[in-house]
Amino acid sequence: MKRVLFCAALCLAATGSAQAATSSHMTGSELRKAVSGKTVYLSASGIVVPISYRSNGTMQGKLQALAAAFAGGNKPSDAGRWWISKHQLCQRWNNWLSKKSYCYKLTKQGDKVTWVRNDGRRGTARIGG
C-alpha cells in the first residue's frame, strides 16, 4: 500500500512539474492585464526595445542611437497605439516600422515570454513594472 501511495504521489508531482513547464499562448484578457501600465522589453537580434504600454491604448518606445541607425530610422523614440485582437497584442507606431500595424502572439512559460509577430519575426520579451 505504501508503494502504491508513493507511486501515486510521484505521478502527481511529475504531472504538476510538466504542467508548470508547459507553455501557453496568452489570451486577450491575460495580455491586457500583463502589458497595460507596464513596460515590455522586446528583444530581437540582440536589440532590446523598451515599450511602455499605457492603459489608454497609447505606447512609447525608445531605442539606443546605434539600434535606431541599424533599424533604418533617424528617430530613436516613437509613440503609437496598441490594442488586443484575437488574443494578440497589436500595435502601430507613428513612425517606426513604416507605420504598419503588427500583431504579436505571446507565449508564457514560467517567467519567460516569447513572441511571434504576424509576419513570422520572433523573439523574447520581459515584462517589467
pLDDT-based confidence at residue 129 (cuts at 50, 70, 90): confident
pLDDT value at residue 61: 95
pLDDT value at residue 106: 96
Q: Where are the domains of the chain?
A: 23-128
Q: Provide the whole-model pTM.
A: 0.76
Whether the pLDDT of residue 1 is over 50: the answer is: no
Q: What is the pLDDT of residues 100-121, one digit of tens each?
A: 999 999 999 888 899 999 999 9
Amino acid at 117: R
Left, alpha or beta for 4 (phi > 0: left; psi -120 to 50: alpha)? alpha
pLDDT value at residue 50: 95
Q: What is the pLDDT of residues 23-77, one digit of tens each?
A: 789 999 999 999 999 999 998 888 889 999 999 999 999 987 666 666 566 688 9
Compute the C-alpha angle 22/23/27, nearest 5°: 135
Q: Which CATH number fits domain 23-128: 2.40.50.140, 2.40.128.640, 3.40.50.880, 3.20.20.140?
A: 2.40.128.640
Q: What is the distance between the alpha carbons of residues 46 and 55, in angstroms, rounded to a whole number?
A: 28
